Structure 1
Amino acid sequence: MTRARRALLRGLLGLALLGAVLALADPARVLAQLRQAQPGWLAAGLAAAIASNLVSALRWRALARWLGAELGAGDACRWYFQAMGLNALLPGAVVGGDVYRAVVLRRAGHDTAASSWSVVLDRVSGLWMLCAIGGLGAAACADVLAPWLRLPAGSFAALALTGTALWLALPWGLPPLLRRSRAAGGWLAPLRAAALRPDFARQWAWQAAASAVVQALSAAALAGGGLALGVTQPAAVWAWAVAPVFLMAALPVSVGGWGTREAAAVAALAPFGVAAPAAVGVGVIYGLYGLAQGALGALAFGLPRREPVSGN
């Protein structure tokens, strides 16, 4: 199967899933929910989404510079939002935008390995913290989620907290693992060199803090979309929901996450009594936030690239 056909198939699968979710939720009810959205909360959610991605861009910049690819703040933000534009338009969720970021950084004259690893590690750190925040949210919502798995609330919370603690500790085991590995040559060599640097712990701590801010703002954006539709839930619920919603949206089986994101929103919010039409509406609004930011990225395509400013 050619690449074009695979891309078309992904797009059709995503549209089919979105259609199925809308059919189950009743399109008329979903549309009614969206029509009554409160503009103030919509604007607040969009502002949180934009802030989240601005922090993401600066996080990527810090990681790229640490790996030796000098990158100005303006270029980092511009390229990051351009990548979002590609993510919103091309099949493959975040894959297309990530490839674009690596390519433009390499074309700016930086080392291929540093360009590629800056994007890979940036994406991994974001997903790592996303899962951790989701785990903490799940523990806080144990009374509601545990019965769905037929577990006592205390046991569910203990499992969620233990798993989250182990997950958060995972990156700190990377340096000794790479030090002992015999297969850390070739394409893994730049990763091994970075992990064995004396300032690895400091850099990863900064990366973790930035990722926590990113995911907190993303959860706030999701909550803003919910509040715009009258879906009022505690912060812990949005902290839990943010993980399955964003992870499903990142799967490379749709265009811009449409379909997978809305299905995940229905599943994640159902235990808390959120009706399917409202949950689908929350997913749709967050998808529209992505399209709006993608439009900003599309506008930035025509702007001239500024040369990175050297310095630490």
Structure 2
Amino acid sequence: MSRTRWTWARLLGGAAILAVLVWRLGTGPFLDGVRRVDGWSLAAATGIAVLTTACCAWRWSLIARGLGAALPLRAAVPAYYRSQFLNSALPGGVLGDVHRAVRHGRAVGDLSRGLRAVAWERSAGQVVQVLLAVVVLLLLPSPVRSSMPLVAVAVGTGVLALALLGRAHPRGVGTSLRARTVRAAATDLREGLLARRAWPGIVLASVLVVVGHAMTFLIAARAAGSVASTVRMLPLAVLVLLAAGVPTNIAGWGPREGVAAWAFGVAGLGAAQGVATSVVYGVMVLVATLPGAVVLLVASLHRDPPARGAEDPRRWRPTATACPEGAAGG
């Protein structure tokens, strides 16, 4: 499948999920979710986003340094805010990541390193999120608890395989494209993610990000009128947040609402309640990323000159230059 067809398939998938929800539940849950957003919940989400964004930027900076594409935290934070805003405002949910990857790669004179740093940063966060989700879903009642032992084995096997790949030194595996890819991935894992100076910070940052997103979802549930206990709500939040990472969405909307409707319905809380909670969460997240719009505006007023490969990467600053068509990110 070509890249263009895949992009349209992802967008149509998200649209189809939303269309089915409207068909089955009507527009009421969506409108109710929008009406229930209040100032306190928006302020709470914005405050939590300061912490989660700083942690994501720290994780990105650690990995980029390990890959030889140094990125200071003071530059990573505004760039990550911009990335989150673009992800929340544009179709697909990844265009912001593509933009920051391309800008960083150009700034350090190595587009490949910039793209790989972002891809590994996103992947590292998702691995930690999945591991935490498995723990929560194993310990607390949820619609998928009966399947979790098998899922835990599969996830554990995958993480072990990645760890072994990162510790390996595959030098004599040939010169084919696949062999070079394996060597590059092993080197990136070993130097960018599993190095002693990097992995503790990456894990800590990722855990704090997951906790922050879960707290935001729980606040959204309360704002949407849910009275379920935290113990009952946390597994549902974990499932919905996993769905939010599926790239088949329209600016974040689609799979998140679909899984929320299913999970809340199976848990006895009502599919409409799940959709309303997801809508509140989506609005909260969008508002929390608005500082990224400010970054875009300021950058458009103070454009930097084109980056050159000889520039010191420590002086890199994010700009609003559009990324080229056809780029792909994590």
Counterpart CA distance in 1 for 2:140 and 2:39 is 29
Q: Which amino acid aligns with 1:82?
A: R
Equivalent residues in 2 for 1:40-55, closer than 5 Å: 40-55=40-55
Q: Give the structure 1 partner of residue 259 of structure 2.
A: 264
Indicate how the Cα distance of structure 1 residues 114 and 42 shifts in structure 2: closer, same or farther if over 3 A, else same: same
Q: How does 1:8-27 map to 2 (within 5 A)?
A: 10-27=10-27
- Indicate the larger mover: 42-51 or 129-138: 42-51
Give the conservation status (yes or no) of the 8 Å contact 1:87–1:97: yes
Q: Which structure shows the bigger proportion of residues in helix conformation?
A: 1
The amino acid across from 1:93 in the alignment is G
The residue number in structure 2 matching 1:81 is 81
Which letter does structure 2 place at the counterpart of 1:65? Answer: R
Alpha-carbon distance, 1:135 to partner: 0.9
- Residues 1:175 and 2:166 are matched in the alignment: yes
Question: In the alignment, residue 121 of structure 1 is paired with which amino acid?
Answer: W
Higher mean Cα deviation, 102-111 or 84-93?
84-93
Q: Is the 8 A contact 1:46 1:221 kept in 2?
A: no
Counterpart for residue 113 of structure 2: 114
Contact persistence 1:225–1:285 (CA under 8 A): yes
**1:202 and 1:242, CA in 2 relative to 1: closer, same or farther beyond 3 A?**
farther
Q: Could you say which residue in structure 1 is the equivalent of 2:187?
A: 193
Distance 2:15 2:254 in 1: 6
2:321 aligned residue: none
| 1:139 paired residue number | 138
Q: CA deviation at 1:239?
A: 4.3
Name the stretch that deviates more: 266-275 or 237-246: 237-246
Aligned residues between the structures:
301
Q: What's the CA shift string for 1:138-175, capped at 9, x where partnerless?
A: 11224x536xx7x5xxxx66556555655554542223
% identity of equivalent residues: 25
Q: What's the offset of the Cα at 1:12?
A: 4.5
Cα deviation, residue 133, structure 1? 1.5
Deviation at 1:80, TM superposition (A): 1.3
1:175-228 residue CA offsets vs partner (Å, 9 max, x unmatched): 345537726753454433344459724422321221111111111111111111
1:102 CA displacement:
1.4
Equivalent residue of 1:119, what SS?
helix
For residues 112 and 7 of structure 2, the distance between their equivalents in structure 1, rounded to whole angstroms, comes to 27
Counterpart selection for 1:206 from 195, 201, 205: 201
3-state SS of paired residue (1:191): helix
Structure 1 residues 210 and 228: alpha-carbon distance in aligned structure 2, compared to 1, 3 A threshold: same
- Please name the residue that 1:231 is paired with: 226
Q: 2:181 & 2:9 partners in 1: Cα distance? A: 31
Alpha-carbon separation, structure 1, partners of 2:232 and 2:38:
21
After TM superposition, the structure 1 stretch with the greater mean CA deviation from structure 2, 38-47 or 100-109, is 38-47
Q: Kindly tell me: are residues 48 and 296 of structure 1, through their superposed partners in 2, closer, same or farther at Cα, counting changes over 3 Å?
A: same
Q: 2:307 maps to what in 1?
A: none
Residue of structure 2 in register with 1:125 after alignment: 124
Give per-residue Cα distances to partners, 1:252-309, cap 9 Å, x unaligned. Answer: 3332121221111112233332222221112112222332244322221233479854
Unmatched 5+ stretches in structure 2: 305-311, 316-330
Q: Which amino acid aligns with 1:220?
A: M
TM-score normalised to structure 1 length: 0.81
Shift of 1:57: 1.5
Distance 1:230 1:101, change over 3 A: same
CA contact (8 A) 1:92 1:255 kept: yes
Distance in 1 (CA, whole Å) between partners of 2:34 and 2:207 is 30
The AA in structure 1 aligned to 2:97 is D
For residues 196 and 162 of structure 1, do their structure 2 counterparts lie closer, same or farther at Cα, with a shift above 3 Å needed?
closer
Counterpart residue identity of residue 84, structure 2: M
Counterpart residue identity of residue 112, structure 1: L
The equivalent position to 1:255 in structure 2, one of 240, 250, 255, is 250
CA distance in 1, matches of 2:186, 2:157: 22
Across the aligned residues of Structure 1 and Structure 2, the Cα RMSD in angstroms comes to: 3.3
Distance 1:240 1:167 in 2: 22
Other-structure match for 2:291: 296
Q: Distance in 2 between matches of 1:241 and 1:167?
A: 24
* Distance change in 2, residues 1:80/1:17 (3 Å): same
Structure 2 contact 34–283 (Cα < 8 Å) conserved: no
What's the secondary structure of 1:219's corresponding residue? helix
Once residues 27 and 190 of structure 2 are traced to their aligned partners in structure 1, the CA distance between those partners, rounded to angstroms, is 54
2:59 aligns to what?
A: 59
